[in-house]
Amino acid sequence: MEHLTDKEFERVCTHLSRTLGLNMRSKRVLLDCRLSRERNRLGLPSFSDYLDLIESGTNPEAAARFIDLVTTHYTYFLRERRQFDFLRTTAFPELEASRPRRTWNILCAGCSTGEECYTVSMIVEDYRRGRNLPPVRVTGIDVSEPALEEARRAVYPATRVDKVPPRWLTSYFTREGDGFAVVDSIRRHVSFARANLSDPEALRRRYDLILCRNVIIYFDEPTRERVLDTLHRHLALSSYLILGHAEIVRDRKRFAYRGDSIYQKRSEETHS
Ligand SMILES: C[S@@+](CC[C@H](N)C(=O)[O-])C[C@H]1O[C@@H](n2cnc3c(N)ncnc32)[C@H](O)[C@@H]1O
Protein backbone atom coordinates (compact mmCIF):
# COMPACT_ATOMS: atom_id res chain seq x y z
CA MET A 1 0.00 0.00 0.00
CA GLU A 2 1.28 3.46 -0.92
CA HIS A 3 1.62 5.79 2.10
CA LEU A 4 1.06 9.53 2.40
CA THR A 5 4.30 11.44 1.80
CA ASP A 6 5.25 14.27 4.19
CA LYS A 7 4.05 16.77 1.61
CA GLU A 8 0.70 15.03 1.08
CA PHE A 9 0.19 14.67 4.84
CA GLU A 10 0.87 18.41 5.22
CA ARG A 11 -1.65 19.11 2.47
CA VAL A 12 -4.34 17.00 4.20
CA CYS A 13 -3.67 18.74 7.55
CA THR A 14 -3.82 22.21 6.00
CA HIS A 15 -7.08 21.38 4.23
CA LEU A 16 -8.64 19.98 7.43
CA SER A 17 -7.55 22.98 9.47
CA ARG A 18 -8.85 25.46 6.88
CA THR A 19 -12.21 23.78 6.23
CA LEU A 20 -13.16 22.16 9.57
CA GLY A 21 -10.74 23.64 12.09
CA LEU A 22 -9.42 20.15 12.87
CA ASN A 23 -5.91 19.58 14.19
CA MET A 24 -4.95 16.13 12.88
CA ARG A 25 -1.17 16.41 13.09
CA SER A 26 -0.91 13.66 15.69
CA LYS A 27 -3.19 11.32 13.68
CA ARG A 28 -0.92 10.50 10.75
CA VAL A 29 -1.28 6.70 10.96
CA LEU A 30 -5.05 6.92 11.19
CA LEU A 31 -5.32 9.33 8.24
CA ASP A 32 -2.86 7.29 6.19
CA CYS A 33 -4.78 4.10 6.75
CA ARG A 34 -8.31 5.46 6.20
CA LEU A 35 -7.48 7.67 3.22
CA SER A 36 -5.38 4.99 1.47
CA ARG A 37 -8.35 2.65 1.53
CA GLU A 38 -10.61 5.39 0.19
CA ARG A 39 -8.19 6.30 -2.60
CA ASN A 40 -8.07 2.63 -3.65
CA ARG A 41 -11.86 2.37 -3.51
CA LEU A 42 -12.12 5.33 -5.88
CA GLY A 43 -9.44 3.81 -8.14
CA LEU A 44 -7.31 6.97 -8.12
CA PRO A 45 -3.65 6.54 -9.14
CA SER A 46 -2.13 8.82 -6.48
CA PHE A 47 -2.88 10.71 -3.27
CA SER A 48 -2.41 13.95 -5.17
CA ASP A 49 -5.28 12.96 -7.48
CA TYR A 50 -7.43 12.12 -4.46
CA LEU A 51 -6.62 15.42 -2.71
CA ASP A 52 -7.25 17.35 -5.97
CA LEU A 53 -10.69 15.73 -6.11
CA ILE A 54 -11.52 16.59 -2.48
CA GLU A 55 -10.22 20.16 -2.69
CA SER A 56 -11.99 20.84 -6.00
CA GLY A 57 -15.39 20.26 -4.37
CA THR A 58 -16.66 18.70 -7.62
CA ASN A 59 -17.67 15.36 -6.07
CA PRO A 60 -20.01 15.96 -3.10
CA GLU A 61 -20.27 12.25 -2.30
CA ALA A 62 -16.47 11.82 -2.08
CA ALA A 63 -16.25 15.04 -0.04
CA ALA A 64 -18.88 13.79 2.44
CA ARG A 65 -17.07 10.44 2.79
CA PHE A 66 -13.77 12.26 3.32
CA ILE A 67 -15.27 14.26 6.21
CA ASP A 68 -16.74 11.10 7.68
CA LEU A 69 -13.37 9.31 7.45
CA VAL A 70 -11.38 12.05 9.18
CA THR A 71 -13.80 12.63 12.06
CA THR A 72 -14.27 10.49 15.18
CA HIS A 73 -17.85 9.46 15.95
CA TYR A 74 -17.43 7.53 19.18
CA THR A 75 -20.44 8.15 21.42
CA TYR A 76 -22.94 6.23 23.54
CA PHE A 77 -26.21 6.66 25.44
CA LEU A 78 -25.81 8.33 28.86
CA ARG A 79 -22.13 9.13 28.24
CA GLU A 80 -20.74 10.95 31.31
CA ARG A 81 -23.86 10.20 33.30
CA ARG A 82 -23.21 12.78 36.04
CA GLN A 83 -23.75 15.57 33.54
CA PHE A 84 -27.23 14.18 32.86
CA ASP A 85 -27.88 14.03 36.63
CA PHE A 86 -27.01 17.75 36.64
CA LEU A 87 -29.76 18.40 34.07
CA ARG A 88 -32.31 16.68 36.30
CA THR A 89 -31.21 18.24 39.57
CA THR A 90 -30.16 21.75 38.48
CA ALA A 91 -30.54 22.85 34.85
CA PHE A 92 -34.14 21.70 34.32
CA PRO A 93 -35.51 23.03 37.65
CA GLU A 94 -33.90 26.40 36.82
CA LEU A 95 -35.44 26.41 33.34
CA GLU A 96 -38.79 25.41 34.79
CA ALA A 97 -38.63 28.54 36.97
CA SER A 98 -37.29 30.92 34.31
CA ARG A 99 -39.15 29.56 31.23
CA PRO A 100 -42.35 28.00 32.55
CA ARG A 101 -44.26 28.49 29.30
CA ARG A 102 -41.82 29.14 26.46
CA THR A 103 -40.17 26.32 24.49
CA TRP A 104 -36.83 25.09 25.86
CA ASN A 105 -34.31 24.97 23.02
CA ILE A 106 -31.44 22.55 23.57
CA LEU A 107 -28.47 22.13 21.25
CA CYS A 108 -26.17 19.11 20.92
CA ALA A 109 -23.25 20.43 18.85
CA GLY A 110 -21.23 17.58 17.33
CA CYS A 111 -24.02 15.07 18.00
CA SER A 112 -22.51 12.23 15.94
CA THR A 113 -24.98 9.34 15.49
CA GLY A 114 -27.70 10.75 17.77
CA GLU A 115 -27.29 8.93 21.10
CA GLU A 116 -26.58 12.20 22.98
CA CYS A 117 -29.72 13.95 21.62
CA TYR A 118 -31.94 10.96 22.40
CA THR A 119 -30.44 10.68 25.89
CA VAL A 120 -31.36 14.34 26.52
CA SER A 121 -34.88 13.73 25.19
CA MET A 122 -35.27 10.67 27.49
CA ILE A 123 -34.06 12.67 30.51
CA VAL A 124 -36.61 15.39 29.62
CA GLU A 125 -39.36 12.79 29.28
CA ASP A 126 -38.56 11.37 32.74
CA TYR A 127 -38.45 14.88 34.19
CA ARG A 128 -41.76 15.84 32.55
CA ARG A 129 -43.69 13.17 34.47
CA GLY A 130 -46.13 14.87 36.88
CA ARG A 131 -45.05 18.34 35.70
CA ASN A 132 -46.55 20.81 33.29
CA LEU A 133 -43.50 21.60 31.14
CA PRO A 134 -43.49 23.67 27.94
CA PRO A 135 -42.43 22.00 24.66
CA VAL A 136 -38.77 20.99 24.51
CA ARG A 137 -36.85 21.00 21.25
CA VAL A 138 -33.50 19.18 20.97
CA THR A 139 -31.42 20.05 17.90
CA GLY A 140 -28.42 17.92 16.93
CA ILE A 141 -25.85 19.30 14.51
CA ASP A 142 -22.83 17.62 13.02
CA VAL A 143 -20.56 18.04 10.01
CA SER A 144 -20.76 14.36 9.02
CA GLU A 145 -23.76 13.52 6.82
CA PRO A 146 -23.40 9.70 7.27
CA ALA A 147 -23.43 10.17 11.07
CA LEU A 148 -26.56 12.32 10.78
CA GLU A 149 -28.27 9.72 8.58
CA GLU A 150 -27.70 7.16 11.32
CA ALA A 151 -28.99 9.63 13.91
CA ARG A 152 -32.19 10.21 11.93
CA ARG A 153 -32.73 6.45 11.50
CA ALA A 154 -32.56 6.07 15.32
CA VAL A 155 -32.12 2.29 15.23
CA TYR A 156 -29.16 0.92 17.21
CA PRO A 157 -27.68 -2.58 17.48
CA ALA A 158 -27.72 -4.30 20.88
CA THR A 159 -24.02 -3.52 21.44
CA ARG A 160 -24.80 0.22 21.28
CA VAL A 161 -27.55 0.16 23.91
CA ASP A 162 -25.71 -1.92 26.52
CA LYS A 163 -25.34 1.07 28.89
CA VAL A 164 -29.03 1.95 28.67
CA PRO A 165 -30.91 1.21 31.93
CA PRO A 166 -33.49 -1.63 31.57
CA ARG A 167 -36.39 0.73 32.36
CA TRP A 168 -35.41 3.00 29.46
CA LEU A 169 -34.95 0.01 27.18
CA THR A 170 -38.54 -1.07 27.75
CA SER A 171 -40.09 2.45 27.83
CA TYR A 172 -38.14 4.31 25.16
CA PHE A 173 -37.14 1.64 22.60
CA THR A 174 -38.94 -0.95 20.50
CA ARG A 175 -37.36 -3.98 18.87
CA GLU A 176 -36.78 -3.58 15.15
CA GLY A 177 -35.18 -6.66 13.62
CA ASP A 178 -31.91 -7.20 15.49
CA GLY A 179 -31.85 -3.59 16.65
CA PHE A 180 -33.48 -1.21 19.10
CA ALA A 181 -35.47 1.71 17.66
CA VAL A 182 -36.05 4.90 19.65
CA VAL A 183 -39.81 5.40 20.13
CA ASP A 184 -41.69 8.27 18.47
CA SER A 185 -42.49 10.02 21.77
CA ILE A 186 -38.71 10.56 22.21
CA ARG A 187 -37.85 11.14 18.54
CA ARG A 188 -40.47 13.80 17.92
CA HIS A 189 -38.64 16.32 20.16
CA VAL A 190 -35.36 15.81 18.28
CA SER A 191 -34.21 17.10 14.89
CA PHE A 192 -30.88 17.04 13.08
CA ALA A 193 -29.07 19.38 10.70
CA ARG A 194 -25.69 19.49 9.04
CA ALA A 195 -23.51 22.37 10.23
CA ASN A 196 -19.82 23.13 10.43
CA LEU A 197 -19.03 24.54 13.87
CA SER A 198 -15.88 26.25 12.62
CA ASP A 199 -18.16 28.57 10.62
CA PRO A 200 -19.08 31.49 12.96
CA GLU A 201 -22.49 31.67 11.22
CA ALA A 202 -23.26 27.98 11.82
CA LEU A 203 -25.97 28.63 14.44
CA ARG A 204 -29.24 30.46 13.90
CA ARG A 205 -30.89 30.92 17.28
CA ARG A 206 -30.30 31.21 21.02
CA TYR A 207 -30.34 28.07 23.14
CA ASP A 208 -31.31 27.45 26.76
CA LEU A 209 -28.74 24.67 27.09
CA ILE A 210 -25.81 23.60 24.92
CA LEU A 211 -23.94 20.31 25.00
CA CYS A 212 -20.74 20.35 22.96
CA ARG A 213 -18.94 17.33 24.32
CA ASN A 214 -15.82 15.68 22.95
CA VAL A 215 -15.77 17.95 19.89
CA ILE A 216 -13.54 20.99 20.51
CA ILE A 217 -10.75 18.66 21.63
CA TYR A 218 -10.20 17.87 17.92
CA PHE A 219 -9.90 21.53 16.91
CA ASP A 220 -6.80 23.69 16.59
CA GLU A 221 -6.47 26.49 19.15
CA PRO A 222 -7.87 29.39 17.04
CA THR A 223 -10.89 27.28 16.02
CA ARG A 224 -11.50 26.20 19.63
CA GLU A 225 -11.64 29.87 20.69
CA ARG A 226 -13.86 30.81 17.74
CA VAL A 227 -16.27 27.95 18.46
CA LEU A 228 -16.46 28.88 22.15
CA ASP A 229 -17.24 32.47 21.04
CA THR A 230 -20.05 31.20 18.81
CA LEU A 231 -21.48 28.98 21.56
CA HIS A 232 -21.29 31.85 24.05
CA ARG A 233 -23.15 34.17 21.64
CA HIS A 234 -25.89 31.60 21.07
CA LEU A 235 -26.42 30.67 24.72
CA ALA A 236 -28.99 32.47 26.88
CA LEU A 237 -27.65 34.34 29.91
CA SER A 238 -27.29 32.10 33.01
CA SER A 239 -27.71 28.98 30.86
CA TYR A 240 -25.28 26.07 30.81
CA LEU A 241 -22.62 24.92 28.36
CA ILE A 242 -21.60 21.30 28.88
CA LEU A 243 -18.25 20.15 27.51
CA GLY A 244 -16.42 16.81 27.45
CA HIS A 245 -14.20 15.91 30.41
CA ALA A 246 -10.95 16.73 28.60
CA GLU A 247 -12.19 20.16 27.45
CA ILE A 248 -11.93 23.45 29.34
CA VAL A 249 -12.95 27.09 29.03
CA ARG A 250 -10.25 29.41 30.35
CA ASP A 251 -12.28 32.62 30.11
CA ARG A 252 -13.97 32.83 33.53
CA LYS A 253 -15.27 36.36 32.86
CA ARG A 254 -17.84 35.03 30.45
CA PHE A 255 -18.34 31.55 31.93
CA ALA A 256 -18.43 30.46 35.58
CA TYR A 257 -17.30 26.89 36.26
CA ARG A 258 -19.88 24.65 37.95
CA GLY A 259 -17.88 21.39 38.10
CA ASP A 260 -17.97 18.27 35.91
CA SER A 261 -17.01 20.27 32.77
CA ILE A 262 -20.19 22.35 33.09
CA TYR A 263 -20.03 26.13 32.56
CA GLN A 264 -22.65 28.80 33.22
CA LYS A 265 -22.83 31.88 31.02
CA ARG A 266 -22.32 34.86 33.31
CA SER A 267 -22.07 37.82 30.91
CA GLU A 268 -22.97 38.93 27.39
CA GLU A 269 -19.50 40.41 26.89
CA THR A 270 -18.03 39.41 23.51
CA HIS A 271 -14.45 39.21 22.31
CA SER A 272 -14.94 41.13 19.09
C1 LIG B 1 -16.48 12.09 19.35
S2 LIG B 1 -17.95 12.68 18.60
C3 LIG B 1 -18.81 13.33 20.01
C4 LIG B 1 -20.24 12.85 20.07
C5 LIG B 1 -21.01 13.28 21.31
N6 LIG B 1 -21.02 14.71 21.44
C7 LIG B 1 -20.45 12.63 22.55
O8 LIG B 1 -19.78 13.30 23.35
O9 LIG B 1 -20.66 11.43 22.76
C10 LIG B 1 -17.37 14.18 17.78
C11 LIG B 1 -18.32 14.65 16.67
O12 LIG B 1 -17.96 15.99 16.30
C13 LIG B 1 -18.18 16.13 14.91
N14 LIG B 1 -17.41 17.26 14.39
C15 LIG B 1 -16.07 17.35 14.19
N16 LIG B 1 -15.74 18.53 13.64
C17 LIG B 1 -16.90 19.22 13.49
C18 LIG B 1 -17.22 20.51 12.97
N19 LIG B 1 -16.26 21.33 12.48
N20 LIG B 1 -18.51 20.90 12.97
C21 LIG B 1 -19.49 20.08 13.46
N22 LIG B 1 -19.24 18.84 13.95
C23 LIG B 1 -17.97 18.42 13.97
C24 LIG B 1 -17.75 14.79 14.33
O25 LIG B 1 -18.30 14.56 13.05
C26 LIG B 1 -18.24 13.81 15.40
O27 LIG B 1 -19.48 13.26 15.08
Domain boundaries, position 32: 6-70
**Ligand 1 pocket residue status of 140, Cβ below 6 Å:** no
pLDDT at 117: 98
Share of the chain above pLDDT 70, in %: 99
212 and 247 co-located in one domain: yes
pLDDT at 188: 98
160: CATH: 3.40.50.150
- Ligand 1 centroid – CA 250 distance (Å): 21
**Ligand 1 pocket residue status of 87, Cβ below 6 Å:** no
- Is residue 260 over pLDDT 90? yes
- Ligand 1 centroid – CA 54 distance (Å): 20
**Ligand 1 pocket residue status of 119, Cβ below 6 Å:** no
Asked whether residue 42 is domain-assigned, the answer is yes
Asked whether residue 190 is domain-assigned, the answer is yes
pLDDT tens per residue, range 154-202: 999 999 999 899 999 999 999 999 999 999 999 999 999 999 999 999 9
Quick one: pLDDT band at residue 271, thresholds 50, 70, 90? low
Quick one: pLDDT band at residue 268, thresholds 50, 70, 90? confident
51 and 151 co-located in one domain: no
Mean pLDDT of 124-139: 97
Provide the 10 A C-beta neighbour count for residue 11.
Answer: 18
**Ligand 1 pocket residue status of 147, Cβ below 6 Å:** yes
Mean pLDDT of 4-32: 95
pLDDT at 1: 67
189 and 238 co-located in one domain: yes
Quick one: pLDDT band at residue 267, thresholds 50, 70, 90? confident
- Ligand 1 centroid – CA 167 distance (Å): 28
* 161 vs 247: CA distance, rounded Å: 25
Mean pLDDT of 224-250: 96
151 and 211 co-located in one domain: yes
Asked whether residue 254 is domain-assigned, the answer is yes
217 and 174 co-located in one domain: yes
222 and 153 co-located in one domain: yes
157 and 212 co-located in one domain: yes
188 and 246 co-located in one domain: yes
Mean pLDDT of 71-91: 97
Mean pLDDT of 40-64: 94
32 and 88 co-located in one domain: no
DSSP assignments along the chain, one per residue? -PPPPHHHHHHHHHHHHHHH-B--TT-HHHHHHHHHHHHHHHT-SSHHHHHHHHHHT--HHHHHHHHHHHS-----TTSSHHHHHHIIIIIHHHHHHH-SSSPEEEEEES-TTTHHHHHHHHHHHHHHTTS----EEEEEEES-HHHHHHHHH-EEEGGGSTTS-HHHHHHHEEEETTEEEEPHHHHTTEEEEE--TTSTT---S-EEEEEE-SSGGGB-HHHHHHHHHHHHHTEEEEEEEEE-TT-----TTTEEE-STTEEEE-------
42 and 175 co-located in one domain: no
Asked whether residue 117 is domain-assigned, the answer is yes
**Ligand 1 pocket residue status of 151, Cβ below 6 Å:** no
60: CATH: 1.10.155.10
Q: Give the nearest ligand 1 atom to 67 CA.
A: 25
- Ligand 1 centroid – CA 57 distance (Å): 22
85 and 63 co-located in one domain: no
- Ligand 1 centroid – CA 73 distance (Å): 6
- Is residue 251 over pLDDT 90? no
- Ligand 1 centroid – CA 113 distance (Å): 9
**Ligand 1 pocket residue status of 114, Cβ below 6 Å:** no
pLDDT at 78: 97
Q: Give the nearest ligand 1 atom to 196 CA.
A: 20
pLDDT tens per residue, range 107-130: 999 999 999 999 999 999 999 999
Number of domains observed in the structure of the chain: 2
Which one of 19, 51, 70 terminates a domain? Answer: 70
- Is residue 137 over pLDDT 70? yes
Q: How far apart are the first and last CA of the chain?
A: 48
Quick one: pLDDT band at residue 270, thresholds 50, 70, 90? confident
Mean pLDDT of 4-28: 95
Share of the chain above pLDDT 90, in %: 94
